[in-house]
C-alpha cells in the first residue's frame, strides 16, 4: 500500500513538473521581443534588431509614409520620399508632415539618404528597394541604415501567402515595436480588424461574387494587381474576385485578351501620376478588345487613389466603399462601418 501511494505521488509530481516545463516553454516563446529597449522584428526573410527607436527615419511612398504618421512618429523622422513625383499633396498630408523634408520626388538614392543622415529606411521591394540595385537592406546596412521591408513586397524575394490584410497588421505591429509605439499600433490594428470583420459578415449575405479587373496603367499590355497584392484581399472582402488573381506577383503585366476572356463586371482604376482616372477610363472604353465585357457596356468603373489600393491605413475604408459599389442593394438599408482615418 505504501509503495502504491508513493508511486502515485511520484507520478503526479512528474506530471506536474512536465506541465510546468510546458507552460514555461510557451511563456518564453511568446515573450515580447523587447528587453532593455532592444527590439527584434522579422522583415521578409531577415531578422532586424534595434537598440533604440530610429531617430532619423525615412519612408518611401505615400502609403508607407502615412503608416508612420498614423503611429505618430514624425519626431523620429528625418524625411520622406516619393510623394510629389506621383501624387498631389493634400492639405491633411501637409499638416501631418509639418517641417519634414521630401528628399526625392520619386525614388530616393543612396546619396539622398546619406545627405539627410538617415538611420532607418521603410520601403518595399519595387517600392524603393530593387534586387541587385543601389538600395537593398545589405547595401544600406553598410552605412548604418537599417531597413524594414513592406510585407506585401516580400513576394519579390521569397515565398509568401497571397495578399492579405495580415500583411498590413504585421507591418503596423512591427513598426510599433521598432518605434516603441506598441499601444498605438495595437489600437490601430484592433480598429481595422473590427471594421473588416463587420464588413465580411455583411458581405457573406451577398447573392453573387463580382469579377473585377484592376487597371493601373499600360496601353500595349495592362499593368494590374496579382495574387500577392493587397488589392486581392480588398476585392475578396468586398464580395468580388480578382480576374488576374492567377498572376504570380503583387503587381505585374498581363494581356488584354486574358482580361477580356475573364469578362469583368467591374473595373477598378488606380488614380495617380499625370494620367487622370478619366483619361484611363476613356482609353478602356475605346479599347476594342474589351468592348463586349459587362464592365465596359455598363460603364462600371470604380476609382481608387494609389494610397487606397497599396498597403496602408486607407485600404480599409476603401474596401468598404468598394463593397458598396459592387453590392449596393446589400448596403441600401445598413449603416457604414467606415472609420475616421488617422
**pLDDT tens for residues 57-114?**
999 999 999 999 999 999 999 999 999 988 888 899 999 999 999 999 999 999 999 9
Query: Is pLDDT at 53 greater than 90 in this prediction?
Result: yes
Query: Is pLDDT at 205 greater than 60 in this prediction?
Result: yes
Query: What's the CA gap between 197 and 180, in Å, rounded?
Result: 27
Direct distance between the N- and C-terminal alpha carbons of the chain, in angstroms, rounded to an integer: 71
C-alpha distance from residue 72 to each of 37, 172, 184, 266 (Å): 19, 12, 8, 37
Taking only the tens place, the pLDDT of each residue in 299-338 is 999 999 999 999 999 999 999 999 999 999 999 866 555 5
The β-bridge relationship of strands 301-305 and 266-271 is parallel
Query: What's the CA gap between 162 and 272, in Å, rounded?
Result: 24
Query: Is pLDDT at 23 greater than 50 in this prediction?
Result: no
Strand order in the sheet with 266-271: 240-242, 210-215, 266-271, 301-305
Q: How confident is the model at residue 10 (pLDDT cuts 50, 70, 90)?
A: very low
Please report which residue ranges of 83-152 form alpha helices under DSSP H: 91-97, 110-115, 137-141
Percent of the chain with pLDDT over 90: 82
Q: How confident is the model at residue 245 (pLDDT cuts 50, 70, 90)?
A: very high
* Mean pLDDT, residues 16-20: 46
Which region among 32-41, 191-200, 274-283 has the lowest average model confidence (pLDDT)? 32-41
pLDDT for the residue 342: 52
pLDDT for the residue 291: 97
pLDDT, the chain, mean:
90
Query: Is pLDDT at 35 greater than 60 in this prediction?
Result: no
Q: How many CA atoms lie within 13 A of 286 on its CB side?
A: 7
* Mean pLDDT, residues 15-34: 43
* Mean pLDDT, residues 160-184: 97
pTM: 0.86
* 34-180 and 207-331: identical CATH topology: yes
Question: Residues near 75 by Cβ (< 8 Å), separated by ≥ 6?
Answer: none
pLDDT for the residue 335: 56
pLDDT for the residue 135: 98
Domain ranges in the chain are 34-180, 207-331
* Cell of residue 267, nine digits: 473595373
Chosen CATH of 207-331 out of 3.30.2130.10, 3.40.50.1390, 3.40.630.10, 3.40.50.1980: 3.40.50.1980
Please report which residue ranges of the chain form alpha helices under DSSP H: 2-29, 62-71, 91-97, 110-115, 137-141, 165-178, 182-203, 230-237, 256-262, 277-285, 294-297, 315-326, 328-331
Query: Is pLDDT at 8 greater than 50 in this prediction?
Result: no
Query: Is pLDDT at 27 greater than 90 in this prediction?
Result: no
Query: Is pLDDT at 270 greater than 60 in this prediction?
Result: yes
Query: Is pLDDT at 142 greater than 90 in this prediction?
Result: yes
* Cell of residue 191, nine digits: 480598429
pLDDT for the residue 332: 84
**Domain 34-180 belongs in CATH node 3.40.50.1980:** yes
pLDDT for the residue 336: 55
pLDDT for the residue 29: 39
Q: Taken in order 282, 255, 232, 333, is the CA torsion positive or negative?
A: positive
Amino acid at each position: 500500500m505504501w509503495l502504491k501511494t508513493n508511486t502515485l505521488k511520484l507520478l503526479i509530481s512528474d506530471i506536474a513538473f512536465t506541465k510546468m516545463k510546458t507552460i514555461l516553454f510557451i511563456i518564453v516563446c511568446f515573450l515580447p521581443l523587447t528587453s532593455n529597449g532592444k527590439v527584434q522584428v522579422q522583415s521578409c526573410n531577415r531578422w532586424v534588431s534595434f537598440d533604440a527607436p530610429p531617430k532619423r527615419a525615412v519612408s518611401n511612398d505615400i502609403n508607407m509614409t502615412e503608416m508612420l504618421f498614423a503611429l505618430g512618429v514624425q519626431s523620429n523622422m528625418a524625411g520622406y520620399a516619393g510623394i510629389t513625383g506621383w501624387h498631389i499633396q493634400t492639405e491633411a498630408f501637409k499638416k501631418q508632415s509639418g517641417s519634414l523634408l521630401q528628399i526625392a520626388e520619386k525614388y530616393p538614392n543612396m546619396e539622398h539618404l546619406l545627405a539627410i543622415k538617415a538611420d532607418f529606411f521603410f520601403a518595399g521591394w519595387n517600392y524603393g528597394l530593387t534586387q541587385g540595385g543601389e538600395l537593398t537592406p545589405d547595401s544600406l546596412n553598410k552605412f548604418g541604415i537599417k531597413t524594414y521591408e513592406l510585407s506585401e513586397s516580400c513576394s519579390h524575394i521569397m515565398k509568401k501567402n497571397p495578399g492579405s490584410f495580415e500583411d498590413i497588421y504585421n507591418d503596423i505591429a512591427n513598426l510599433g515595436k521598432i518605434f516603441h509605439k506598441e499601444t498605438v499600433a495595437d489600437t490601430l490594428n484592433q480598429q481595422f480588424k473590427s471594421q473588416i470583420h463587420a464588413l465580411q459578415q455583411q458581405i457573406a449575405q451577398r447573392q453573387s461574387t463580382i469579377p473585377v479587373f484592376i487597371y493601373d496603367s499600360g496601353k500595349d499590355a495592362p499593368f494590374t494587381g496579382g495574387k500577392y497584392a493587397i488589392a486581392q484581399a480588398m476585392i475578396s472582402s468586398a464580395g468580388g474576385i480578382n480576374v488576374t488573381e492567377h498572376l504570380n506577383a503583387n503587381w505585374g503585366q498581363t494581356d488584354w485578351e486574358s482580361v477580356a476572356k475573364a469578362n469583368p463586371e467591374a473595373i477598378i482604376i488606380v488614380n495617380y501620376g499625370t494620367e487622370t482616372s478619366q483619361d484611363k477610363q476613356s482609353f478602356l472604353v475605346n479599347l476594342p478588345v474589351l468592348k463586349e465585357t459587362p464592365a465596359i457596356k455598363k460603364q462600371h468603373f470604380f476609382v481608387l487613389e494609389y494610397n487606397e489600393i497599396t498597403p496602408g491605413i486607407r485600404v480599409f475604408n476603401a474596401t468598404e466603399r468598394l463593397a458598396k459599389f459592387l453590392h449596393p442593394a446589400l448596403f441600401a438599408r445598413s449603416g457604414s462601418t467606415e472609420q475616421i482615418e488617422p
